[in-house]
Amino acid sequence: MKTPAAACNTNHSKLAVPASGAWELRLYVAGPTPKSVAALRNIEKLCEEHLAGQYRIEVIDLTKNPQLAQSDQILAVPTLVKKLPVPVRKIIGTLSDRERVLGALGLPTHDAEPFAPRKAGKHV
């Protein structure tokens, strides 16, 4: 597991693959806070499960480089920005709601699988 200090290094890459189908993600944080560390841990786990070998995560610590928030219009942290593939998407928070994050990234969710067990609720 990464230490909180390691979680906030800029240009943090994980299995970067320079391919046309590679995913480019930026995680904006404000120091090694519990929420920032949780967001990094959650997106790394999700990427390993769904995009293994096809993604790059750049962690930008706004306490060290506050001017970088302007380029992606960051108003809150932690914020994940999906740069590639287009369209650009932003997700604010610890990224703990897996279904929401998968949906926002345009990846298949359990709800997209026709025979997946459904959550409690109305049956159609």
Q: Which residues contact 27 (CB under 8 A, 6 or more apart)?
A: 39, 40, 43, 57, 58, 59, 60, 78, 79, 80, 81
**pTM assigned to the model:** 0.74
pLDDT of residue 75: 95
- Residue 28 domain-assigned (yes or no): yes
Residue 21: alpha-carbon gap to chain centroid = 17
Which of the pair, 90 or 108, is modelled with greater confidence? 90
Give the three-state DSSP class for 105. Answer: helix
Portion of the chain with pLDDT greater than 70, in percent: 71
Q: What is the mean pLDDT of residues 5-11?
A: 38
Q: How many domains are contained in the chain?
A: 1
The backbone torsions φ and ψ at residue 39, rounded to the nearest 5 degrees and listed phi first, read -60, -45
- Residue 47 domain-assigned (yes or no): yes
What is the residue range of 32's domain? 6-106
- Residue 124 domain-assigned (yes or no): no
- Residue 62 domain-assigned (yes or no): yes
Beta pairing partners, 59: 27
* Tens digit of each residue's pLDDT (9 = 90 or more) over 19-73: 446 999 999 999 999 999 999 999 999 999 999 999 999 999 999 999 999 999 9
Residue 43, domain CATH: 3.40.30.10
Q: Which amino acid is residue 76, in one-letter code?
A: A
